[in-house]
Amino acid sequence: MRMRKRVDLSKRIFVTVLVVLILVNTYHLWLGKQYFSPIARAAFHDRQAQFRDRFYFLLDKYAPRCPSLELIESAGWPRYDAVFEIDRENHIDNADEILQPMQTAHDGFVQKTRKLDIPYLILTEGIVSSAGGKYMPTFVVTLRLLRRTGCTLPVELFVKDSTEYESHICERILPELNARCVVLSEAMGLENPKNTNTTDGVKIEHYQLKSFAVLFSSFEKVIWLDADCIPLHDPATLLTSDPFKSTGLITWPDYWASTISPLYFTISRQPEFSTTDRATTEAGVFLVSKRAHSRTLLLAAYYNYYGPSHYYHLLDQGAPGEGDKDTFIQAAAAVGEKFYTVSEKVADLGRRRYEWNDHDIIHVAMLQADPVEDYKLTQQGKWRVEDTSVAPAPRAFFIHANMVKFNPGEKLLEESSNEDGDGRRRMWTAPETSVRRLGYDVERAAWEEVMTVSCTLGNAFETWEAGDGFCEDVQRHWEAVFENHDAGRLNFTQH
């Protein structure tokens, strides 16, 4: 009897301990998903501080010990072609001087970061962006359009430093939209006197911001969106589908062929890839898993840290958009981590130069394809990039409004008027193939949000002065274009 009681007691103790362990683990998993949990966030900041010290030490230790790169000439503007290969040429003038030092530094950094983990809140996913100054109104419009898709993911907006922090926007407006501001210089510890030994004189700006914002964001799974990159559908769905599930990194193409210097492949110890394999990256949007791509993001940050002096010229050689765009995918290739590059070509979106010609387009924005539909086609061996007749084009998923941004404080109203200045017009009316792929009237939705922002938040932005009259100007445009029943109708149904 006593033996049976002991066995029963042992079983109860075992079950109790097991239940407690399950509850504790469940709690910690739950805690990791609580975006605004003070405990989880405090622990995250502690891990970030420890990570920073090691990361900055490695950045400094493995700096390229050679002069900045100099170009003989620009690589030009070669368009991407999936069929006809172009020769890969070197345009770096001081090649002999930089090759060995950069290879040694690259080798050392890659080797030492094998055991350096990026901190993040486990099981979290969210959207990361950066904006400040004149880009802040554009970001708010984009954020409101994101919420229109039904997306509820939290958003972290990185501002460069305290000079770009707008208290009313960051503390009143964004939290209502499940977004918050993060001051990058503070997250990186650049304003902390304790770090002056490793970060003295460091400036992270322009193209460098993106890689460091992703690196210091709190999410495990990140959707990067430029402030002017508009999602047409809920991007959260992409995180639970292939190709993201199977690779952990998705990028979209630009118009241009790869112009990477052959020197880079020697420095990073990679074989050259054919220029027909993939276009350069259009980095207005990309998806990345920190758990799967920690080494990719560390190396991409290294490329951007030394980008202005060394790696931007090495990866683009003066071609259009030289900067951070190819640092992510080349970093992944260099450390052998999986990635998927959307094969469907980027499409123009704008208006006809001549009413009768649907091929001569005044470019206003870029149309990016649904990666899930693109992946399904390529898995079937259907490569529209080589032959568009093999299947209909995937639906559009993002619009990068790179030329004219939805900020009436800039040139939005000017670009939306007729040449004589007394009429109003749409910006996105051609080519017809692109308009049909939109699926719905995205431009109308964008202007509706511009009107809301202009008429309710006009005085909130530091770059907008009271009395600018943006609300009235936007309302007049809305009435002339979107409430005018005589205006031509567009077909948003893809056949």
Q: Over the chain, what is the mean pLDDT?
A: 90
Question: Would you say residue 226 has pLDDT above 70?
Answer: yes
What percent of the chain is modeled with pLDDT above 90? 77
Residue with tokens 């990186």: 188
Mean pLDDT of 384-411: 95
Task: Report pTM.
Answer: 0.90
Identify the sign of the CA torsion 419, 425, 427, 431.
Answer: negative
Q: What is the CA radius of gyration of the chain?
A: 25
In angstroms, rounded to a whole number, what is the distance separating the alpha carbons of residues 241 and 4? 52
**Cβ atoms 433, 227 nearer than 8 A:** no
Question: Would you say residue 16 has pLDDT above 80?
Answer: no
pLDDT digits (tens, 9 = 90+) for 444-457: 999 999 999 999 99
**pLDDT in the model for residue 6:** 58
Q: Model confidence at 198, in pLDDT bands (50, 70, 90)? A: very low
Residue with tokens 């001569």: 360
**pLDDT in the model for residue 390:** 97
Contacts of 157 (CB under 8 A, 6+ apart): 129, 130, 131, 139, 170, 174, 179, 180, 181, 182
Q: Model confidence at 25, in pLDDT bands (50, 70, 90)? A: very low
In angstroms, rounded to a whole number, what is the distance separating the alpha carbons of residues 251 and 287? 7
Q: Model confidence at 241, in pLDDT bands (50, 70, 90)? A: very high
pLDDT digits (tens, 9 = 90+) for 360-396: 899 999 999 999 999 999 999 999 999 999 999 999 9
First vs last C-alpha separation in the chain: 79
| Beta strands, E only, 108-207 | 125-130, 155-159, 179-183
DSSP 173: I
Mean pLDDT of 173-189: 96
With vertex at residue 156, the alpha carbon angle to CA 153 and CA 159, rounded to the nearest 5 degrees, is 160
Which tops the pLDDT comparison, 41 or 433? 433
Among 161, 366, 364, smallest CA distance to 284 is for: 366
Question: Would you say residue 106 has pLDDT above 70?
Answer: yes
Helix (H, G, I), strand (E, B) or coil at 390: helix
- How many C-beta atoms surround the C-beta of residue 378 within 10 A? 17
**pLDDT in the model for residue 42:** 84
Contacts of 13 (CB under 8 A, 6+ apart): none
In angstroms, rounded to a whole number, what is the distance separating the alpha carbons of residues 93 and 157? 39
Bridge partners (DSSP) listed for residue 256: 79
Q: Report the half-sphere exposure of 95 (CA within 13 A, side-chain side).
A: 14
**Cβ atoms 339, 329 nearer than 8 A:** yes
Mean pLDDT of 199-216: 82
Helix (H, G, I), strand (E, B) or coil at 293: coil
Pairing label, strands 229-231, 179-183: unpaired
Domain 42-341 bears CATH identifier 1.10.10: no
Amino acid (1-letter code) at residue 296: T
Q: Which of 7-16, 79-88, 203-212, 345-354 has the lowest mean pLDDT?
A: 7-16
**pLDDT in the model for residue 194:** 41
pLDDT digits (tens, 9 = 90+) for 351-366: 999 888 888 899 999 9
Q: Model confidence at 489, in pLDDT bands (50, 70, 90)? A: confident
pLDDT digits (tens, 9 = 90+) for 251-308: 999 999 999 999 999 999 999 999 999 999 999 999 999 999 999 999 999 999 999 9
Q: Model confidence at 486, in pLDDT bands (50, 70, 90)? A: low
Long-range contacts of 52-60 (CB under 8 A, 24+ apart): 52/188, 52/189, 52/195, 53/195, 53/198, 54/116, 55/116, 55/298, 55/301, 56/195, 56/198, 56/199, 57/198, 58/109, 58/112, 58/113, 58/116, 59/109, 59/198, 59/302, 59/305, 60/198
The two three-digit tokens of residue 330, written as one number: 């080349």
Task: Say what the alpha-carbon torsion angle 113, 115, 120, 123 is, to the nearest 10 degrees.
Answer: 130
Q: Model confidence at 467, in pLDDT bands (50, 70, 90)? A: low
**pLDDT in the model for residue 309:** 96
The secondary structure of the chain in percent helix, strand, coil, rounded to multiples of 5, reads 45, 15, 40
In angstroms, rounded to a whole number, what is the distance separating the alpha carbons of residues 474 and 220? 39
**pLDDT in the model for residue 450:** 97
